[in-house]
Amino acid sequence: MPSNQIPINAVYYPSWRVYKDLPPSSLQLDYIDRILYAFVLLNEDGTLRFLDEFADLNKDVDGEKGCLRALAKLKQQKPNLKTLVSIGGGSGSAEFPAMAASPASRATFARSCKEFVEQYQFDGVDMDWEYPTTKEAGKNYIAVLRELREALPSSQYLLTTALPTGEYYLKNINIRAARKLLDNLNLMGYDFTGSWTDVAGHHAQLLPQLGPQGHVYPALRNSCHQGVEYLVSHGFPVHKIILGVPAYARSFAGARGVGQPFQSVAEMDYNDLPSEWIRDATIDHHVVAASYVDGTGKGFVSFDVPETVRRKADYVKRGRLGGLFYWTGVGDVKGPESLVRAGFEELNGSSS
């Protein structure tokens, strides 16, 4: 990152977690300088709609009505805090292709985003289209970013996007065009293995891993580093890349290690993991990943721990990336086992 750039430590805040007594005020503001509000949805005509209008606007949250106002309130506590509204998400992206293909809908979308940002005191927009799957969609993706950048000039607003590390999606996007439009790219450094892969493996490894006995499993080649290398080799500035960290675990029942078949897959938030799993996790230093083998049925469980997050933060500093982000900020824990805190302290040179 440029010598005068302060590293970013960002978190996504998913509004539905308010129903688990995790309002915006539960975020660890001391270690956060950017919050991305997940999610607001879109219609094919480019207008926006709430994911959950009660949670967003009406539920009593932190002395306010709705999570949106509660989030805006945090900026009174921390004036340099930046907030962005994240549009779309994994289950909210179906409307993007049709919207993006229409010039009129793209213009409506950009105008709607600006109105939303101004109404709810956001500093910008995070476009979370998961994912452009064709060259045509990739072309339209850039067209949407252009409309957003025109409506939200860089002198006043932030514009970011979330993208995976895999070349199979990134190849559809003109990375050089994106670099001119985006303030940051949130690189989703997780979900490398899961129900869609044929074997168990670390789901958020920093570096690529080959299978046992020299067998190369395609599912295990993906890594944070691979995504960074692809972006940089295609002209994206490294200092604009924010590397993602999962505050959740993925378990593979029936597997006891990397490269093994499994019967089923499940997810658990980091704050729901038994403390002994975190304490006794096996750290694979070659790929920078942690795991635990649970004998009571979960099987091989992959997750980050403070040590792996510190290693990722060190990678960010050495490579001059822009910082880290976490999905999600409220999936974390407080205290010495906090992932967000570990990343912040390492990025800012204050870890012990």
Give the mean pLDDT of the chain: 95
CA distances from 327 to 92, 151, 278 (A): 16, 27, 18
User: What's the pLDDT score for residue 1?
Assistant: 56
pLDDT at 158 over 70: yes
Using the 8-state DSSP alphabet, how is residue 44 labeled?
T
Number of residues that make up the chain:
352
* Whole-angstrom distance, CA of residue 182 vs CA of residue 170: 15
Pairing of strands 241-246, 60-61: unpaired
In the chain, what are the helix, strand and coil shares in percent, each to the nearest 5?
Answer: 40, 25, 40
pLDDT in tens, 241-263: 999 999 999 999 999 999 999 99
Residue boundaries of the structural domains of the chain: 8-247+304-347
* Whole-angstrom distance, CA of residue 68 vs CA of residue 85: 9
User: What's the pLDDT score for residue 352?
Assistant: 45
pLDDT in tens, 268-325: 999 999 999 999 999 999 999 999 999 989 999 999 999 999 999 999 999 999 999 9
| Residue recorded with tokens 């985006």 | 182
- CATH number attached to the domain at 8-247+304-347: 3.20.20.80
pLDDT in tens, 100-136: 999 999 999 999 999 999 999 999 999 999 999 999 9
3-state secondary structure of 233: helix
pLDDT at 216 over 80: no
SS3 readout for 152-202: CCCCCCEEEEEEECCHHHHCCCCHHHHHHHCCEEEEECCCCCCCCCCCCCC
The model's pTM is 0.96
The Cβ of residue 196 has, within 10 Å, a number of other Cβ atoms equal to: 8
User: Residues 10, 242: contact at Cβ < 8 Å?
Assistant: yes
User: Residues 323, 7: contact at Cβ < 8 Å?
Assistant: yes
User: Residues 205, 224: contact at Cβ < 8 Å?
Assistant: yes
User: What's the pLDDT score for residue 217?
Assistant: 67
CA nearest to 136, candidates 91, 166, 96? 96
User: What's the pLDDT score for residue 212?
Assistant: 60
- Average of pLDDT values for 15-24? 98
